[in-house]
Amino acid sequence: MYQSLQAFKKEMKKHKKELTTFLKGLPRRKVKGLSSKFYRLHKEAYGKIDCGQCANCCKTMTPTYTKAEVKRIATHVGMTEKEYWAKYLRKDKAGDIVNRKQPCHFLDKDNRCTIYAIRPLDCRQFPHTQKKDVLFQKEIHIQNLDFCPITFHVVQRLNEIVLKEAAKQ
């Protein structure tokens, strides 16, 4: 869908304000079948956008880790938890465990995750467009608009659909 990340960023900049306002106002709109619509658009987005070509989340954001995930990953790479913390992790202002640096140290040059099978739940669930509680997730979607072409596609298409439905009423 986007020729490059630059093309996505350019398009996103044009629509960011409109889509942020749309998401903020979504609870008031009482959209019929919101979860199903969102999920359908999530599937549509994955049919159009190749995460393997993009990897922008792994390049520019950090996952959050549970303590159990840190332990599992440290063992997997042959380090003690202490060594792993010192080399790769920190706590952010909210107290979440996050990467020290971006891109993620597990992203290889071909945009592949080298711990794919044991990656954190946060990575597995990103960008959360598969979740049914759309209204609960809306602040996350607003944040992710800047980084994620899948999120941008889903929210932009939903905006179009909702506007079209409203015009018919």
Q: Which CB atom, from 31 or from 56, has the smaller least distance to ligand SF4?
A: 56
Q: Which of 23, 31, 74, 150 binds ligand SF4 (CB under 6 A)?
A: 150
Taking the complex as a whole, the smallest distance from the CB of residue 168 to ligand SF4 amounts, in Å, to: 31
Q: Is 161 in the site for ligand SF4 (CB under 6 A)?
A: no
How many other CB atoms are there within 10 angstroms of residue 31's CB atom? 18
Is the distance from CB of 121 to CB of 104 less than 8 angstroms? no
Strands ordered across the beta sheet of 64-65: 64-65, 97-99, 89-91
Site for ligand SF4 in 3-42 (CB under 6 A): none
Q: The tokens of 36 are what?
A: 């199903």
DSSP β-bridge partners for residue 89: 99
Binding residue for ligand SF4 (CB under 6 A) from 22, 65, 127, 141? 127
User: Which residues neighbour 72 within 8 Å (Cβ) at sequence distance 6 or greater?
Assistant: 118
The C-alpha atoms of residue 15 and residue 72 are separated, in whole angstroms, by 40
Decide: is 74 part of the binding site for ligand SF4 (CB under 6 A): no
The contact mask relative to ligand SF4 for 39-68 (x = CB under 6 A, - = no) is ----------x-x--xxxxx----x-----
Q: List interacting residues with ligand SF4 (CB under 6 A).
A: 49, 51, 54-58, 63, 104, 106-107, 113, 115, 119, 123, 126-127, 147-150
